[in-house]
Amino acid sequence: MSSLANTDPEVADIIEMERLRQTNGLELIASENIVSKAVLETTGSILTNKYAEGYPGKRYYGGCEYYDIAENLARDRLCQLFGAEHANVQAHSGSGANMAVYFSTINYGDKIMSMKLSEGGHLSHGSPVSFSGKMYKVVQYGVDHETERLDYADIAAMARKEKPQMIVCGASAYPREIDFKAFGEIAEEVGAYCVADIAHIAGLVAAGLHNSPIDVLPFTTTTTHKTLRGPRGGAIMCKQEYAQAIDKAIFPGLQGGPLMHIIAAKAVCFGEALKPSYKEYCKQIIKNAQTLAATLDAEGLRLVSGGTDNHLMLLDLSDKGLTGLQAENTLHDAGITVNKNTIPRETLSPFVTSGLRIGTPAITSRGMKEEEMKQIGTFIATVLNDIENKQKIAAVRKEVEALASKFPIYAVTE
């Protein structure tokens, strides 16, 4: 940090403040994680200096021989990790990966069927404020309002009625396992393409702790920075017959020069995920999520669908007379970072919401286990059950800092 501190102390100060915030608090945002020092080192490496438009063996610039090795390594490791036939690791984000699948398969104005944003879906699945909602006709399924889970019979009936050209499955706020085989069967019946967006659960899928879409669907997209614990970016896996179309959709269709320092960091991340210790890490993510959920439930907080099968849970705060925005801001004062989130039957705006989304990947990366989850659940309940009590919030913050100090983000020996 000395070079940055000497060159631009303002930016150095910002980074240091953020380091302290992460170190002294608890990150419970389900889409966030803590990368290894190896991933950090790669993202800040000399690989950022080079243009490498094109693909390995077919670049538009000279001097790319080592970049070819790095990208091939990332692609091969991703295919090995998931058992995929083809991988594209150039996508800058999960949204860009989804866009590439749409662009390679369906036409402007075609119909997409996807999960409602308010009930667990994602902006890039057809929200009217996203490119996906502006470029395509969109019909959306939700969860059953009694069970708060996907009803595949209802989804199949909608598909038969609407006859979409593309069905999107996967979610950003759904705490239950998704049946990708069921989606594949629905898509096949109505003659639609189907893409699984596993951005949130990719690590769990790779570890064999969630069923995989790879063998049952033609396309799978993901980010690399959530449960995969890698750099911020996206990736696409597909059947070999779609490989050329997907690669062309990314470059030159959507992007120019790839971010080779990020692609190399993706290779590092995939290599880490291929190690036996990674499966144990993912098992702990789920154990932690289920313990935290059980603690919150015992403290009188309502869990959407009654619990979780994966790395996240949703709290319905409506019976507490609280909004997600209130809860997010007050927990922030206590050193706990979460995000407000819409819930099924939502009545408030996405800027306010009736719920909270809580996840365990980042705190699991710090080494926390079930006993710590019980403490954290108690911290959250203490704040939310007496949200105006400034003294309690301040006391919880001290306890949060004490707990966080026992689990440094980066150990001195790393």
One digit per residue, the tens of pLDDT, for the chain of length 414 reads 579 999 999 999 999 999 999 999 999 999 999 999 999 999 999 999 999 999 999 999 999 999 999 999 999 999 999 999 999 999 999 999 999 999 999 999 999 999 999 999 999 999 999 999 999 999 999 999 999 999 999 999 999 999 999 999 999 999 999 999 999 999 999 999 999 999 999 999 999 999 999 999 999 999 999 999 999 999 999 999 999 999 999 999 999 999 999 999 999 999 999 999 999 999 999 999 999 999 999 999 999 999 999 999 999 999 999 999 999 999 999 999 999 999 999 999 999 999 999 999 999 999 999 999 999 999 999 999 999 999 999 999 999 999 999 999 986 444
Q: Are residues 172 and 304 in the same domain?
A: no
Q: Are residues 228 and 368 in the same domain?
A: no
Q: Are residues 261 and 283 in the same domain?
A: no
- Would the CA dihedral through 93, 97, 98, 99 be positive or negative? positive
The reply to whether 297 belongs to the active site is: no
Question: Which residue has 């502006």 as its token pair?
Answer: 134
DSSP H or E run through 374: helix 370-384
Distance between CA atoms of 295 and 145, rounded to whole angstroms? 24
| Binding region for (6S)-5,6,7,8-tetrahydrofolate | 117, 121-123, 349-351
Q: Is residue 240 part of a domain?
A: yes
* 113 beta partners: 139, 167
Q: Is residue 19 part of a domain?
A: no
Q: Are residues 320 and 239 in the same domain?
A: no
Q: Are residues 291 and 206 in the same domain?
A: no
Q: Is residue 67 part of a domain?
A: yes
* pLDDT for the residue 2: 79
Q: Are residues 243 and 385 in the same domain?
A: no
Q: Are residues 141 and 254 in the same domain?
A: yes
* pLDDT for the residue 413: 41
CB atoms within 10 A of CB 313: 29
Q: Are residues 214 and 267 in the same domain?
A: yes
Contact at 8 Å (CB) between 76 and 130?
Answer: no
Domain end (from 246, 274, 302): 274
Q: What are the phi and psi torsion angles at 128 (to 5°)?
A: -65, -20
DSSP string, 186-208: HHHHHT-EEEEE-TTTHHHHHTT
The reply to whether 316 belongs to the active site is: no
* pLDDT for the residue 414: 43
Q: Is residue 414 part of a domain?
A: no
The reply to whether 410 belongs to the active site is: no
**Number of domains comprising the chain:** 2
Q: Are residues 303 and 203 in the same domain?
A: no
Distance between CA atoms of 49 and 158, rounded to whole angstroms? 49
Question: Which amino acid would we find at residue 185?
Answer: E
* pLDDT for the residue 411: 67
| Binding region | 117, 121-123, 349-351
The reply to whether 21 belongs to the active site is: no
Q: Is residue 130 part of a domain?
A: yes
Q: Are residues 399 and 355 in the same domain?
A: yes
Q: Are residues 245 and 326 in the same domain?
A: no
Q: Identify the domain containing residue 390 by its residue range.
A: 277-406
Question: Which amino acid would we find at residue 336?
Answer: I
Q: Are residues 300 and 341 in the same domain?
A: yes
Distance between CA atoms of 163 and 341, rounded to whole angstroms? 30
* pLDDT for the residue 365: 98
